[in-house]
């Protein structure tokens, strides 16, 4: 892919995630049940509690912002920020259904936070930071808006070989295309996968008490077909690759993905391994 300016990356992200927003809403209940444990882990790492003011970065359709709002209660508040207005519209509908009045969502780039210094007790983020064109800039912003003693808790994807859930489709699509070797510094799903990558940036921004832990789990689908269907509707980066294949190649790629899931069949379901990197840090007192 030709080099993109930060502004081009941001605009492409905005378009990508807006395009898949309806798919995220459609699959919401399924993935909420499959991945809610990640939200609870983030809430724990961020030490969320009643009355706090929390900022969630790249909330998408509301994770973990909605859980944070339930924890901080009516004496606290949560702001979720994301580039994709349509993802946020889905998050707002969910907040309304849950009767939450202490949460608001704003469209914007998390690399430039429109908030005062030292104004949040905690910052959370699930599966967003690796998509930013200038991660150190966003990390400096996080350090700026955290109150002294406040925590950041972030989840990013760990290494591809530990994430068959994400790697299978990427491996299947690659042979059909003439892709240059991936630029390890370019924004993308695995940009913060290596141990220490994000942690080092947090340290450089002056944050302390840094933890970095890989957390293995799996996502369970009743059938392999449902896995493939969800990928096609949710995974914006994969959609972009698929769009470059002919109809025949797409059909062949789908068949190969189905075949690759066979070794993960268990008890009548498909359990696809994932590995999430949880990174947390504290603002100095």
Least separation in angstroms between residue 257's CB and ligand SAM is: 19
| 231 is a site residue for ligand SAM (CB under 6 A) | no
- Residue number with CB closer to ligand SAM (18 or 249): 18
| 17 is a site residue for ligand SAM (CB under 6 A) | yes
- Residue number with CB closer to ligand SAM (132 or 152): 132
DSSP string, 24-67: HHHTHHHHHHHHHHHHHHHHHHTT--TT-EEEEES-TTTTTHHH
Least separation in angstroms between residue 17's CB and ligand SAM is: 4
Q: Partners of 265 in the beta sheet?
A: 270
Within 10 angstroms of residue 162's Cβ, the number of other Cβ atoms is: 18
Q: Within positions 49 to 68, which residues make up the interface with ligand SAM, using CB under 6 A?
A: 58-61, 63
Contact 64, 124 (CB under 8 A): yes
| 110 is a site residue for ligand SAM (CB under 6 A) | yes
- Residue number with CB closer to ligand SAM (6 or 273): 6
With CB under 6 A as the contact rule, the residue among 43, 45, 82, 165 that binds ligand SAM is 82
Tokens representing 225? 């077909």
Contact 113, 81 (CB under 8 A): yes
From CA 131, how far away is CA 191, in angstroms rounded? 8
Kindly state the number of chain residues that form the binding site for ligand SAM, as judged by CB under 6 A.
Answer: 21
- Residue number with CB closer to ligand SAM (10 or 257): 10
Contact 55, 145 (CB under 8 A): yes
| 163 is a site residue for ligand SAM (CB under 6 A) | no
- Residue number with CB closer to ligand SAM (13 or 261): 13
Nearest to 210 by CA among 279, 124, 122: 279
Contact 207, 281 (CB under 8 A): yes
Contact 156, 193 (CB under 8 A): yes
Q: Within positions 119 to 148, which residues make up the interface with ligand SAM, using CB under 6 A?
A: 126-128, 131-132
From CA 261, how far away is CA 121, in angstroms rounded? 42
- Residue number with CB closer to ligand SAM (26 or 256): 26
Binding stretches for ligand SAM (CB under 6 A):
10, 13, 17, 58-61, 63, 81-84, 87, 109-111, 126-128, 131-132
């Amino acid at each position: 892919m030709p080099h993109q300016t930060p502004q081009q990356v941001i605009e492409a992200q905005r378009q990508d995630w807006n395009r898949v927003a309806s798919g995220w809403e459609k699959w919401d209940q399924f993935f909420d049940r499959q991945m809610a444990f990640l939200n609870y882990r983030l809430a724990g790492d961020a030490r969320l509690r009643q009355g706090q003011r929390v900022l969630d970065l790249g909330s998408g359709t509301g994770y973990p912002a909605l859980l944070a709002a339930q924890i901080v209660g009516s004496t606290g508040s949560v702001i979720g920020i994301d580039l994709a207005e349509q993802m946020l519209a889905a998050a707002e509908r969910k907040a309304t259904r849950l009767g939450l009045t202490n949460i608001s969502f704003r469209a914007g780039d998390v690399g430039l936070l429109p908030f005062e210094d030292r104004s949040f007790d905690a910052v959370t983020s699930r599966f967003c930071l690796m998509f930013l064109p200038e991660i150190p800039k966003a990390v400096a912003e996080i350090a700026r808006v955290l109150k002294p003693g406040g925590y950041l808790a972030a989840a990013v994807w760990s290494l591809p070989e530990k994430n068959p859930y994400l790697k299978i489709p990427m491996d299947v699509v690659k042979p059909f295309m003439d892709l240059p070797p991936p630029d390890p510094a370019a924004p993308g799903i695995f940009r913060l996968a290596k141990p220490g990558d994000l942690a080092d940036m947090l340290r450089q921004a002056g944050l302390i008490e840094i933890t970095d832990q890989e957390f293995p789990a799996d996502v369970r689908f009743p059938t392999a077909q449902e896995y493939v269907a969800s990928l096609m509707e949710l995974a914006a980066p994969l959609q972009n690759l698929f769009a470059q294949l002919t109809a025949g190649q797409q059909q062949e790629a789908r068949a190969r993905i189905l075949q690759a899931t066979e070794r993960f069949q268990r008890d009548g379901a498909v359990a696809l391994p994932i590995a999430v990197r949880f990174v947390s840090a504290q603002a100095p007192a």
